[in-house]
Structure 1
Amino acid sequence: MTLSRRIVLNDGPGGLFEHMAVVDDAIGTACPGILLFPNVLGTKEADFEKAEQVAALGYAVLVADVFGQGKRTTRADPDAGRYMNEMNADRAMMRDRLLVAHAALKALPEVDPARTAAMGFCFGGKCVLDMARAGADIAGGVSYHGVYDPPEGLTGDSFTGKLLVAHGWDDPIAPPEATVALARELTAMGCDWQIHAYGHTGHAFTDEGVNMPEKGLAYSPDADRRSWKATVDFLAELFG
């Protein structure tokens, strides 16, 4: 196994986007492709490391830039959510950027364009759900501690893929009523869905750098481990 990274640039709604492809150069044939959507901060080293973890399973991964080249923030930034907020204010633009990123994934020479999926964290989980709502031709998607509010007037009637939603039951951003509403929405779409809810677990449970339990945001090693195992099994079911 020889993992490598390379920058992938493409034009899209609002400018130039800088993705990161992570692949195993030892795989000689086209393999399933996975879009990885980062959290509110945009693409960063932690995402590239997670992509390597996914690529080691035999997939080609594109860490998707949906904010635009150079548009990144940090936790120390007093306005860390500004690029995410722009997307939330225009869900049609957000949808179009997600589909452009998917096209960039399918264009990678390492990817079988007929076999793709998506995964995302926090805001990235919302991106996965919006791809399903847009009827994107992905086999499935995984949302980790995502955000569940649907885009008004933009939700499609059906999604033929499968969805795994990994959820912290005590997540203040996605309280129980929002989680139940998501289940009803996915059921109405005819989606093959599953929600894994982890007790005594809040938002950002996969992020080792988060420790704000007073705000309901904290890393949970148990939920992280369990959701990753569920993901490995889910991807194997999609592409095995």
Structure 2
Amino acid sequence: MATIKTREIHYTAQDGQSLIGYFAAPEADIPVAGVIVAPEWWGRNEYTEQRARELAEHGYAALALDMYGEKKVTTQSDQAYEWMMQTFEDPDTIVNRAAAGLQVLAEQAEVNPEKLAAIGFCYGGKVVLDLARSNAPLQAVATFHANLSPKAPAQEGQVQAEILVMHGELDSMVTLDDVASFKHEMQQAKVAHEVIVFENAKHGFSNPLADERAQANAVDLGYNAEAEKQSLAAMYELLARRLG
């Protein structure tokens, strides 16, 4: 594992919102591929930052996005829902804030701007999928228990990324019908994609705190260690293949 460094980066989205990303990168002599990490609806919390550090340990520069501003975080689902819905009020907010994060990542001295990717969890999965649908310069996108519904369906020639979607079979928030609709969207747009469905996995399967959050908020989440392990391995395989 590489020795890493971390810092916060302040940036501003097109809508004027001040955002604070969490940057992690390996101590390297040459610029490396960059990956944005879009958070669950809880905000840019320790879990998101942990995933960024892990990417840095694997040799990538990573920026954990702040989608709400001022790095706001919560453990309360009603607050998370309120903040998330605020980013849906204007249909361009999600893509504009994610694009601002991708741009600031690409501008860092540690990053090779020709090699960019994005990963996202739950709400963050929708964030990076909509970013990919917007023709962002991404080589790869990987999502974990993502909201798959598009701001607007992908159009042929408008998605540069290869997309990997990882979904829990028992996810009650994003159904297998939703997964089928997503596959159809990708096929119609001729996007290179793969969907992996994990047995006995619920929404939130990648987060070790999912059971605790489920109990505290009476929401149907569940951690699945095997699905977490397999999904991260699949993500790293995609990143290695697409980013070199």
- Shorter-chain TM-score bucket reads over 0.9
| 1:221 matches 2:222 | no
Any conservation in 1 of the 2:118–2:140 contact (CA below 8 Å)? yes
Any conservation in 1 of the 2:44–2:71 contact (CA below 8 Å)? no
Give the counterpart letter for 2:23 in structure 1. A
Give the counterpart letter for 2:56 in structure 1. A
Structure-1 residue corresponding to 2:205: 205
More divergent stretch after superposition (82-91 vs 16-25): 82-91
| 1:24 matches 2:26 | yes
Structure-1 residue corresponding to 2:243: 239
Shift of 1:216: 3.4
More divergent stretch after superposition (63-72 vs 106-115): 63-72
Percent identical among aligned pairs is 24
What's the TM-score once normalised by structure 2's chain length?
0.92
Shift of 1:215: 4.6
Distance in 2, matches of 1:149 and 1:78, equals 21
Distance in 2, matches of 1:29 and 1:210, equals 37
Distance in 1, matches of 2:123 and 2:159, equals 20
Any conservation in 2 of the 1:21–1:62 contact (CA below 8 Å)? yes
Map Cα deviations across residues 132-173 of structure 1 (whole Å, 9 max, x no partner): 111111001001000011114x74443132011010011111
Distance in 1, matches of 2:64 and 2:154, equals 24
How many residues of Structure 1 are paired with residues of Structure 2 in the alignment? 237
- 1:36-115 maps to which residues of 2 (within 5 A)? 36-75=37-76, 78-115=78-115
Distance in 2, matches of 1:103 and 1:43, equals 18
Distance in 2, matches of 1:45 and 1:160, equals 30
Structure-2 residue corresponding to 1:176: 176
What's the TM-score once normalised by structure 1's chain length?
0.93
Q: Aligned-residue CA RMSD in angstroms?
A: 1.6
Structure-1 residue corresponding to 2:151: 151
Map Cα deviations across residues 85-136 of structure 1 (whole Å, 9 max, x no partner): 1112322121111111110110111000010000010101111110111111
Instruction: Give the gaps of 5 or more residues in structure 2.
Output: none
Instruction: Give the gaps of 5 or more residues in structure 1.
Output: none
Any conservation in 1 of the 2:39–2:124 contact (CA below 8 Å)? yes
| Residues 215, 66 of structure 1: alpha-carbon distance in 2 compared, 3 angstrom cutoff | closer
Question: Residue 218 of structure 1 aligns to a residue in which SS?
Answer: coil
Question: Residue 33 of structure 1 aligns to a residue in which SS?
Answer: strand
Any conservation in 2 of the 1:132–1:159 contact (CA below 8 Å)? yes
